[in-house]
Amino acid sequence: MNWCPSCQTVLANEQVVQGLCERCDSVVTKKALTQWYFKVTDYADRLLDDLDTLEGNWPSKVLSMQRNWIGRSHGADVNFEIEGRSEPVTVFTTRPDTLFGATFMVVAADSALAAELVADSNPDIQKQFVSYLEMVKQSNDIERLATDRPKTGVDLGRFAINPVNGEKLPIWASDYVLADYGHGAIMAVPAHDQRDYEFAKTFGLPIRNVVDVKDENGQSIDPILAGVPTTGSGTVINSGPLNGLEKAEAIEKISALLETDGKGKKTKNFRLRDWLISRQRYWGTPIPIIHCEMCGEVPVPVDQLPVLLPPAEGLDLKPKGTSPLGGATDWVNTKCPKCGMDAKRDTDTMDTFVDSSWYFLRFLSPNSTEVAFPKDEAKAWAPVDQYVGGVTHAILHLLYARFVTKVLHDLDYIDFEEPFTRLLNQGMVLMGGSAMSKSRGNLVALSEQLDEHGVDAIRLTMSFAGPPEEDIDWADVSPAGSAKFLARAWRTANDVASAPGVDFTDGNGELRKATHSFLRDFGPLIENFKFNVGVAKIMELVNALRKAIDGQAGPADPAVREAAETVAKALSLFAPYTAEDMWQKLGFKPGVALAQLPESDLSLLVESSIIAIAQVDGKVRDKFEVPVDISEADLRDLAMASDLVKKAIGDREVANVIVRAPKLVNIATK
């Protein structure tokens, strides 16, 4: 399993990023240990298929990352008899159509199968194998990930029988086959697989073309002459009963044939591995298992849960490869719940991702000592309607929580199968293109920014900089500009000369229109997380308000008060201090956050006329003011009568006239 030499603990696959520990960036090595797993693979199909139900509500990036990570591939299991072994060896392949092209077999060097096969081989080979295995074990994930790594391996001196043609295939051991994917063994078809091809070239193994793949000129490519394997689709050749079939047909036929003969079957495989939850750390939840010499591994009975951590005093908490809990002798030594004999507690703790996989349910009853969460509360409140978090958890927390949710559902604790209905990945604040980090430090000192511009301006700057899911480069934004805008908005509240409660009805029409079109647009923008556009709309309204105060309407116009109150209420979402001050300057008691934005009076926004545009072949040629209820025929006639339109049409023939009353006419010419 994955081992972090710095944290001195094992890690789950999801916690190894590019060969490095997710927590501390140390190079992860391999270590053989007996550990606890959650069988996530049993849920692989559902975790994958249910992603479809989140489509549109989760970022597509996260959906694709999870699909990628789960990595389902369809293919077939094929059983190969092994000379001198009673049991056949099963291999998984996505290309059973190329079975006739198999020229050797490869087993994972670090698998039990390789060790077993070599044990019955000759001593020379055994010696080679042992030293090869030693070399493999010493390589870390970084080396394994190198793309230009030459193929290595050892001929085990054993043979497999191809079930379709009885051919003897030499069996090799190599590290390019993974022990924990599929069955840890593959059939090698060098003519049609890049890795098998490289291996065959390195060790002089035969290459047999069984798929006639054509190049762009329609010429057949011979993998041996071309020097590259042909991995694309084509017609099957040199393959007995499969000859002449296309890829999909051949896969169906060979799968059926294998099944009939009991030599294989259609199946699927996943990239997803089971979740290794044991950690050799003090923090975390103790694994509730008691090890008894007589009864084996016994779960702690429900009435003794939860198992609490022993006090940390006196324990060696430094990472040392074994759990610090091992030092808590009084805690470790216990009685077997089954037979009552002396027994020992499991000293590992659970991955903290286990806890974060259901914490949102615990929020429903944080003080309950009886249950983790009450069923009826979960039914009433969960799932989470809107979740906000960083994309860094796309395949960690968000996959684990989905898994735990499905398990809880199956155990009938909850009635939903997905924990988070909607997901937003917020972006990061960058500086000059660089993310801030432990090594680079805080490139933008938040406290200094707050001191300089004030918390309202900083919050507004972040909201206004762009869509919340995008990163913000602090070098591109202007907190000083935000502060300036807030001052401008604030000043309007001071200018208002009418009293609270004044009737808005007779206020300046133009400003009222601006206020109510703002009210129409603002709510949906906020609900759809378009905060940057929402802020822009407030700015727009402030501009209109300023103009009205300085212009014809004047500070005493009721519409000025209406607009200023609206600005204060809307602004309270982004700049609560400024908004509150405006609110009180406007003569209200404290609490702008509790003041509701009024409904938009749509009747104020009804126009009697509108500017219609006339296009010729999609290009705007003329505009005219028309009644909003103009008929299509009238609008068409108006457009056709326009001199500018006539000029644009010239002597061409009119082919089609599209009318979208009252806004647009488009005249298409031949």
Site for RNA in 139-168 (CB under 7 A): 144-145, 147, 149, 151-152
Question: Is the CB of 372 or the CB of 638 nearer to RNA?
Answer: 638
With vertex at residue 426, the alpha carbon angle to CA 424 and CA 430, rounded to the nearest 5 degrees, is 165
Q: How far apart are CA 284 and CA 324, in angstroms?
A: 12
- Whether the upstream peptide bond of residue 590 has omega within 30° of 0, thus cis, is no
Site for RNA in 388-447 (CB under 7 A): 391, 395
Yes or no: say if 473 and 432 are a contact pair by the CB < 8 Å rule: yes
Q: How far apart are CA 213 and CA 204, in angstroms?
A: 23
Q: Are strands 664-669 and 609-616 parallel, antiparallel or unpaired?
A: parallel
By CB under 7 A, residue 233 contacts RNA: no
What secondary structure does DSSP assign to 48-73, as a single string?
HHTHHHHBTTB-HHHHHHHHHHH-EE
**Binding range to RNA, per CB under 7 A, among 381-389, 449-457, 503-511, 530-538:** 530-538
Site for RNA in 6-35 (CB under 7 A): 17-18
Question: Is the CB of 136 or the CB of 287 nearer to RNA?
Answer: 136
Count of residues binding RNA (CB under 7 A)? 81
By CB under 7 A, residue 88 contacts RNA: no
Q: How far apart are CA 380 and CA 410, in angstroms?
A: 18
By CB under 7 A, residue 607 contacts RNA: no
Rg of the chain over Cα atoms, rounded to whole angstroms, equals 35
Question: Is the CB of 417 or the CB of 634 nearer to RNA?
Answer: 634
Q: How far apart are CA 247 and CA 255, in angstroms?
A: 12
Taking CB under 7 A as the rule, which mask of x and - marks residues 623-642 in contact with RNA?
x-------------------
By CB under 7 A, residue 49 contacts RNA: no
Close Cβ partners of 161 (under 8 Å, ≥ 6 residues apart): 80, 81, 82, 83, 167, 168, 169
Question: Is the CB of 291 or the CB of 547 nearer to RNA?
Answer: 547
Minimum distance from CB of 72 to RNA (Å)? Answer: 8
By CB under 7 A, residue 255 contacts RNA: no
By CB under 7 A, residue 131 contacts RNA: no
Minimum distance from CB of 612 to RNA (Å)? Answer: 8
Q: How far apart are CA 271 and CA 109, in angstroms?
A: 19
**Binding range to RNA, per CB under 7 A, among 34-42, 50-58, 335-343, 661-669:** 661-669
**Binding range to RNA, per CB under 7 A, among 35-43, 233-241, 285-293, 535-543:** 535-543
Minimum distance from CB of 363 to RNA (Å)? Answer: 29
Q: How far apart are CA 531 and CA 467, in angstroms?
A: 7
**Binding range to RNA, per CB under 7 A, among 58-66, 217-225, 328-336, 406-414:** 58-66
Q: How far apart are CA 575 and CA 427, in angstroms?
A: 20
Minimum distance from CB of 122 to RNA (Å)? Answer: 26
Instruction: Provide the 8-state DSSP code for 285.
Output: P
Which position among 77, 97, 110, 193 is part of the footprint of RNA (CB under 7 A)?
A: 193
**Binding range to RNA, per CB under 7 A, among 49-57, 347-355, 405-413, 657-665:** 657-665
Which position among 71, 319, 374, 587 is part of the footprint of RNA (CB under 7 A)?
A: 71
By CB under 7 A, residue 535 contacts RNA: yes
Which position among 233, 543, 552, 609 is part of the footprint of RNA (CB under 7 A)?
A: 543
Residue reference for tokens 């300089």: 452
Spatial CA neighbour of 565 closest among 485, 506, 509, 502: 502
For residue 611 the two structure tokens come to: 């500017």
Instruction: Provide the 8-state DSSP code for 338.
Output: T
By CB under 7 A, residue 248 contacts RNA: no
Q: Write the burial class of residue 441 (CB in 10 Å: 0-12 exposed, 13-18 middle, 19+ buried).
A: exposed
Which position among 336, 384, 414, 465 is part of the footprint of RNA (CB under 7 A)?
A: 465
